[in-house]
Structure 1
Amino acid sequence: MPSRPAIVLAAVLRAFKPLARLLLRHGVAYPAFAAALKQVFLEAAVEELQRAGKKQTDSAISLLSGVHRRDVRNLGRLDSERIAVEAPMNMASQVMSRWLTDPTYLDDDGQPLALDRAGFDALVTAISSDVRPRAVLDELTRLAMAEEGDDGVRLLAPGFVPRQGFPEMAALLGDNIHDHAAAAGANIEGEGNYLEQAIFAGELSADSVKQLHTVSAKAWRQAFKTVMREAQARFDHDRQNASPAERIHRARFGAYFYACDDHERPS
């Protein structure tokens, strides 16, 4: 029987193949990726030492990660591009969430209303007075998620999935896959019992796959409304009733659908 390290390595390599394809398609070959991966192993080693209550010395980090000690001093590097992308996205995401869940901004069928500029500005300032509503509207427009017309500002997308802006889409890819992998990893290690399930069906025609995709998208839209409404309610409740020290947790709920030719090994 293969060892646990071999089993885990095989599973991770299997999961990584689509990401390797993505890297290659955008000009990132193995040497560049291998060099960048050192940082990931160093950060993971520090977190593992912290979890075990051990000192995070250069020697301990190097021994656990397998990365040479001379590279450990680079651990504190910040990805400024990533931070620059996250800031406007976070505010846009919060505005979208409230717009899609607060009854004030919904019609009788639960669909987001078109808002005049005063209404949109009120929506933004209800979340934060530190960001100009015009800047938020420009960001949503740039991402093709909202537009301003004669009838006011209206949403173009049912959820926060930018249709323009490659950095934003790449950042969301990283966040979604990271948290999915983190949930699966915690479950297999016995450290959590997170929701992490999937439905698989084989020997299907192309038409059947298309129909399943349609049904799955419909199910997601309903789940999105239910979970987002509760998430907004919990956020508002905690902002009023919990101290900043207590508000240190985050949660992510998602869904995915994928199909391929069964004659090829899906990857």
Structure 2
Amino acid sequence: MRINRSLALGLLVRLMKPLVQFCLRHSLRLQDLIECAKVAFVESSRAEVKGPSDKPNASKISLMTGVHRRDVVRIVNRREDFSYSKDLITKIIGHWQTDRRFMTKDGRPKVLSVSGEGSEFFTLVHSISKDVNPATVLFELERINAISKARGGIRLTVESHVPAGAEDGFELLSRDSADLIRTVENNVLESPDVPHFHARTEFDNIRPDSIAEIKRWLVREGHLFHGRLREYLGRFDQDINPKQKFEGKGRRVVASGFSFIDEDAD
């Protein structure tokens, strides 16, 4: 279901207000936002308007987005899609925690051998994607301190992938924002019989001396919830628990979460 242009523009202003607040906090001006909007329009439309040679069709992108063709060419030539898939890291950690092949008898992620093509770690990575080099994934897991060396291989040292650094953190925010917008669109515009879960809990008069305890509780409970969630969803995942007679393509299921405490409030 599509909404009329007037309503869509009004909603877009609401969606943009947090972005504008981010710009103001970091001394970014309207011209910066316009340039970034052009880049976002071009990159978001590229997959839909590739030409016969798999190269982006600048004329089609310009017609589809309203970005001048000259700007489209400039952006495409300047920015190649080289982003590393953070989803891949999340999936690998999740499979390590839920796939019986990579778990101990008591249900914990086991130490994986890592030497060579037939190693357990290579098998883990290739169970998710055969298009990525396991050595590259190993480097990334080491970079984010998700693994440590152990006798006989490597050990998983995190309960989930918590982004470290600006690039990783905002990449996760971008994906969360896209899925949350789709969630609200579907719930509000399509009115499904079983809606997607969307809830918010907020208290505005919490005593400051309780903040540290609350932060620790939220982080601990968040990790526990996502652990239970990975175990539950893994029962239905065709990669982890394949069903012999299943045909077709599986569906993507996302459950995210965050907590925020405004410690600068007056």
Q: Displacement of 1:72 after TM fit?
A: 9.6
Q: For the Cα contact (< 8 Å) 1:220–1:255, is it kept in 2?
A: yes
- SS of 1:153 mapped into structure 2: strand
Contact 2:112 2:153 (8 Å CA) reproduced: yes
Answer yes or no: is the 8 Å Cα contact 1:100–1:111 preserved in 2: yes
Q: CA deviation at 1:211?
A: 2.5
In structure 2, what is the Cα distance between the partners aligned to 1:228 and 1:32?
Answer: 39
Deviation at 1:134?
2.7
Using the size of structure 2 for normalisation, the TM-score is: 0.69
* 1:45-75: CA deviation from partner (whole Å, max 9, x where unpaired): 99xxxxxxxxxx98xx67xx7x47x459939
Gaps of 5+ in 1: 47-56
Query: Structure 2: how far apart are the matches of 1:86 and 1:239?
Result: 30
2:92 pairs, out of 95, 116, 124, with 95
Identity percentage of aligned residues: 17
Give the 5 Å matches for 1:136-155: 136-150=137-151, 152-155=153-156
Alignment-derived partner of residue 205 in structure 1: 207
Residue in 1 that maps onto 2:52: none
Q: Map Cα deviations across residues 204-228 of structure 1 (whole Å, 9 max, x no partner).
A: 1123233232222222222212222
8 Å contact kept, 1:101–1:228: yes
Residue identity in the other structure for 1:189: L
2:232 aligned to which of 230, 233, 248: 230
Is the partner of 2:196 in helix, strand or coil? coil
The total of aligned residue pairs comes to 241
Contact 2:113 2:152 in 1 (8 A): yes
RMSD of equivalent CA atoms: 4.0
Is residue 2:14 matched to residue 1:11? yes
Partner of 2:50: none
After superposition, the C-alpha distances for 1:66-118 in whole angstroms (9 at most, x for unaligned) are x47x459939965986732234x444333211111123433465432232334
Within 1, Cα distance between the matches of 2:156 and 2:246?
32
CA distance in 2, matches of 1:249, 1:75: 35
| Structure having the larger proportion of residues in helix | 1
Q: Which amino acid aligns with 2:84?
A: E
**Is the 8 Å Cα contact of residues 238 and 250 (structure 2) preserved in structure 1?**
no
Task: Identify unmatched segments of 5+ residues in structure 2.
Answer: 1-5, 47-58
The 1:228–1:186 alpha-carbon spacing in structure 2 relative to 1, beyond 3 Å, is same
Which residue of structure 2 aligns with residue 177 of structure 1?
177
Distance in 1 (alpha carbons) for counterparts of 2:80 and 2:227: 28
- Go from structure 1 to structure 2 and tell me whether the alpha carbon gap of 1:140 and 1:102 turns closer, same or farther (over 3 Å shift): same
What are the superposed Cα offsets for residues 99-154 of structure 1, whole Å, 9 maximum, x if unpaired? 11123433465432232334323323444444443332122112222222446311
Is this contact kept in 2: 1:145–1:163, CA < 8 A?
no
